[in-house]
Amino acid sequence: MARNIKAPRGNDIVCKNWRIEAIYRMLHNNLENAERPEDLIIYGGTGKAARNWECFDAIIKSLRELEPDETLLIQSGKPVGVFRTFENSPRVLICNSNLVGNWSNWEHFNALEARGLMMYGQMTAGSWCYIGTQGIIQGTYETFAALATKHFNGSLKGKFCLSGGMGGMSGAQPLSIKMAGGVALVVEVDPKRIQRRLDAGFCDYMTHDFHESMEMVKSAVQEKKAISIGLVGNCADVLPDMLAKGIIPDVVTDQTSAHDELNGYVPAGYWGGNLGDCDDFRKSDPKGYVEKSMKSMKIHCKAMVDMQKRGAVAFDYGNNLRGQAQKAGFADAFAYPGFVLAYVRPLFCEGRGPFRWIAQSGDPNDILATDKAIVEMFPENKLLMNWIELAEEYLPWEGLPARVCWLGYGERHKFAKHMNGMVRSGEIGPISITRDHLDSGSVASPYRETEGMMDGTDAIADWPMLNALLNCASGADMVALHNGGGVGIGLSQHSGMIVVCDGSKETDERIERVFKSDPGTGVMRHADAGYELAKKTAREKGVKIPMLS
């Protein structure tokens, strides 16, 4: 029987202190916002919060009993040990999906998972940092805003933006494009996913009819009206059909679950009413299903490349569609760039990235108070000011109220410390601070965040491991180290973290260390790779890099 898991609210706690209680609530919040909570799957088709329900219950019991000077160890969603450490040590350490290099592939992982020995943590799913669709909306918005600046004189008004997928992460696309002023058409196989985005206010319309969707797009483009449309269909069918009809969008990208050809991606010919047949196919003939998925991804990717050749701005949004299509035999799969290489890397050089905070009280007014504080602290950051205004206008609360914005080195620790002061004064309740694993110094992913590094170090995984170790040494409350992420097993290494603002002076000290160390590793990593902007940031901000030239 499915459980109805919701994060606790209010000031009464069941754990020994707020540093543990907040992590306990974050785990519950993941499931409150999950795609398939009955299967412990948070997003991305396979990203789980715990290995199974027995492990989930054991984690909950362990957190309730955890002493303030103990650390709980989680191995791929299973609690495996509790050790006495220090009060300033992390309360929880997590490792998910990590395999020795030669064995780091889907085949070996799937065999271990089938035996109940591992789980796929995705990114914020397995580190209990997921905050619902808002978690990726701001990064998606930043990307489309940067795209508009680079290609369309700063605005997406009157521009047709086409994409695929409306799941836990990809569901951010319709609203992000709309907030950037564009016309969004997002193709999704499952109408339930679109309906969920409609209900939450992330999408304006849903249609099963291709012709109707094109009429809506045409009208909105002519009127320069920002809207979002969800089309029930399959990208491997819809995009080639659009090409045949001579319909070329201004922008094309994709966020389907292309990293997983068996459990994530849905092959051509399946959408809407016949998804049950697709599930039967997956179970009865896994090998045939994978073959059809790979062929479909090749078709899907080729259609995007063909649209690019005919004038569309095309970019990859981090789901490994290009890698899968290349594996399936499409030699030109990497004709379009990844979004970090195309738009985001200068931000990473400044230690800038997705900084998130969550109201543990469950009171939205706590977040609104922090919104006011952040715009007062950084009035010169016009993009931030605009984002907070848009977020308050458009974004619904999902689970525990939360906010996300992009802050750089030097800004994160100042704002985090200010929020801890607000907790101390009683202005707001306790706050958890986290970030996406997609950040300046927390990831090595050659098909996404570290694609095309200046010095060719795309695949060196030392950097996110150093980030995780440094966050432990600096006193973060939770630190996680994952393999895979949104691109698949063996294709990335990344780390996550949580710091809890409980209002104490001791937390002020932890904040000062963690929120200099964490983004500082991003400045360090990019300076080491030769980026002049990162070197400049290090010099100006006082990031000590021994061999900085």
Write the secondary structure of 123-178 as one string of H (helix), E (strand) and C (coil). CCCCCCCCCCCHHHHHHHHHHHHHHHHHHCCCCCCCCEEEEECCCCCHHHHHHHHH
**Dihedral sign for Cα atoms in the order 283, 287, 289, 294:** positive
**SS3 label, residue 421:** helix
Long-range contact pairs involving 223-227 (C-beta distance under 8 Å, separation at least 24): 224/157, 224/158, 225/183, 226/156, 226/157, 226/177, 226/178, 226/179, 226/180, 226/181, 226/182, 226/183, 227/178, 227/183, 227/184
- Do residues 431 and 366 make contact, with C-beta atoms less than 8 angstroms apart? yes
Backbone angles phi, psi at 67, to 5 degrees: -85, 155
Report the C-alpha gap between 193 and 290 in whole angstroms.
23
Q: Would you put residue 336 in left (φ > 0), alpha (ψ -120 to 50) or beta? A: beta
Q: Is 405 annotated as catalytic?
A: yes
User: For residue 414, how many other CB atoms are within 10 A of its CB?
Assistant: 14
Angle 355-128-359 from CA coordinates, rounded to 5°: 55
Residue appearing with tokens 């519950």: 28
Task: Give the active site residue among 203, 405, 472, 501.
Answer: 405
Report the C-alpha gap between 423 and 8 in whole angstroms.
18
Which of 491, 544, 484, 547 has its CA nearest to residue 126?
Answer: 484
What token pair was written down for 212?
A: 């109707």
What token pair was written down for 445?
A: 């992913």
Which of 205, 137, 134, 199 has its CA nearest to residue 173?
Answer: 137
Backbone angles phi, psi at 525, to 5 degrees: -60, -45
**SS3 label, residue 265:** coil
Residues annotated as catalytic (active site), given as ranges: 405
